[in-house]
Amino acid sequence: MKLVDMAHEKHSLWIFGYGSLVWKPDFAYKRRKVGYIKGYKRRFWHGDDFHRGDKEKPGRVATLVEDEEACTWGVAYEVPQSHMEESLQYLNVREVMLGGYITEIVEFVPKEKSHTPLLALVYIATSDNPIYLGPASDVEIAAQISISSGKTGHNIEYLLRLAEFMRLCCPEVEDEHLFSIEAALLKIFPHGEVTLSAQKAL
């Protein structure tokens, strides 16, 4: 069944975000749920030469990498049918045209035990993308993030807001990759300067 057909049949569409969408959706939605998807791990392996970087200094942003043992936490947004077309058009520009992501359908498991799993649309950047950067050490990724800024803001903000979301909404989850990069970034700057650096480009 096609995505549009599935969405119209259910009168709404769920969209799962695991990067900037967790704190900056910028599209109309009815409600949101914190939860996770299985079979993927979040990695800062994708390049960004528009939102959080440029052609000379591409930023590092999150994508999903298949891993049967892993799960990735984030937020699912329910988009009603009345806003579906405009929301998908907006996300197509933001995530696909400018970000280089493709779409997949995944099963989303809400954090609230009383809520049943649901199907959601997710945006993933794969290794065949021209701006895909691939693996690097936590120190190398942090160093690249520390000097990158784009049309939407500094790459530092992207990292810190994502880490903040995980601590506030999923305090029981230890995202080693995310928090290790954050720790490496904080070592680059004297105390307090990391926040100021992120704000300069806002």
Query: What digits encode the pLDDT tens for the residues 128-145?
Result: 889 999 999 999 999 999
- Tens of each residue's pLDDT in the chain, 202 residues: 455 555 555 689 999 999 999 999 999 999 999 999 999 999 999 999 999 999 999 999 999 999 999 999 999 999 999 999 999 999 998 888 888 899 999 999 999 989 999 999 999 999 988 999 999 999 999 999 999 999 999 999 999 999 999 999 999 999 999 999 999 999 998 665 665 445 444 3
- Would you give the distance in Å from CA 130 to the centre of its chain? 19
Residues belonging to the active site: 95
If you count them, how many residues does the chain have?
Answer: 202
Rounded distance, CA 67 to CA 64, Å? 9
Q: Are strands 12-17 and 102-110 parallel, antiparallel or unpaired?
A: unpaired
Domain boundaries, the chain: 3-188
To the question of domain 3-188 being in CATH 3.10.490.10, the answer is: yes
Structure tokens at 111: 């954090």
Find the largest Cα–Cα distance for the chain. 54
Rounded distance, CA 55 to CA 187, Å? 26
Structure tokens at 147: 């000097």
CB-neighbour burial class of residue 52 (10 A; exposed 0-12, middle 13-18, buried 19+):
buried
